[in-house]
A and B are shown apart, each in its own frame.
Chain A
């Protein structure tokens, strides 16, 4: 009985250690994906800010763009969703037009069920 107990404890310790190791690897991978998602989201924000005048920002609303985090030896794809809305002086959404628009981008990857990162930028008229 004691021997069985001892072996059970040893197995549990080994399993626990394995689980902890897997969690550690997963958190490292998550951090890498977060950095890549940040990179493609910010790139999309910069492209919108550089290529579109304030009056036309709405053309990006509800759009989804596939952006690659590509390197010569590696590539990962992200779907970047864009939303554009008017905000008031405090940055809250406004149903009536104001002089400030909030452009928000979210990056998703099929490895995850929800957006990895969301970035927003306020752009004045």
Chain B
């Protein structure tokens, strides 16, 4: 007891410093994890974007069919985008179909998330991760206005992916965006 009383200030200071260092270390680890999650989401978003770009720029290639449909849901998301291209053997009808996956709660607000499924001639052929917040593909005229598929000269695609940030009990959402407007040669 005498020893503790003799060294009370040293013990208190040591405790404060130890807690500060531990908290810093913990936060540093958490920050590293968040950076990694953010990087992975960005990578995933850019990969999906690159896939969309490669595919959309081939719209109408080798076929007289172009864009069949660009359908949106009431929330403004593109739920179905159907276009044609030829793979060198047959005409392919490619569809990007948006599917609701889950609703997460962030600060008391519901956040709907989606998944994009890709179909070739109505057969499932891959898709995105189930973490999309926004997905839009729109046919545009030469002035950049949204038009009916038959009048399209340009195609605009934009996506926004989500990833969790922070503690599970105090989580918020990080977003990763991608967008491109392209002019398919055969439109």
CB-CB nearest in chain A for B45: A35
CA distance A47 to B24 in the complex (A): 50
**Which chain B positions have C-beta within 8 A of A9?**
17
Q: Are A6 and B13 in contact (CB under 8 A)?
A: yes
**Which chain B positions have C-beta within 8 A of A24?**
31, 35
Q: Are B154 and A50 in contact (CB under 8 A)?
A: yes
**Which chain B positions have C-beta within 8 A of A71?**
76, 133-134, 136, 158, 160, 177
Give the number of A-B contacts (CB < 8 Å).
101
CA distance A42 to B14 in the complex (A): 58
Shortest Cβ gap from B21 to chain A (Å) = 6
CB-CB nearest in chain A for B9: A3
CA distance A49 to B182 in the complex (A): 11
| Number of residues of chain A lying within 8 A (CB) of chain B | 33
| Number of residues of chain B lying within 8 A (CB) of chain A | 40
CB-CB nearest in chain B for A43: B181
Question: With an 8 A cutoff between CB atoms, is A124 at the interface?
Answer: no
Shortest Cβ gap from A106 to chain B (Å) = 17
Question: With an 8 A cutoff between CB atoms, is A36 at the interface?
Answer: yes
Give chain B's interface residues, CB within 8 Å of chain A: 9-10, 13-14, 16-17, 20-21, 23-24, 27-28, 31, 35, 38, 42, 75-77, 133-134, 136, 142-144, 153-154, 156, 158, 160, 174-183
Give chain A's interface residues, CB within 8 Å of chain B: 3, 6-7, 9-11, 13-14, 17, 20-21, 24, 28, 31-32, 35-36, 38-40, 42-44, 46-47, 49-51, 69, 71-74
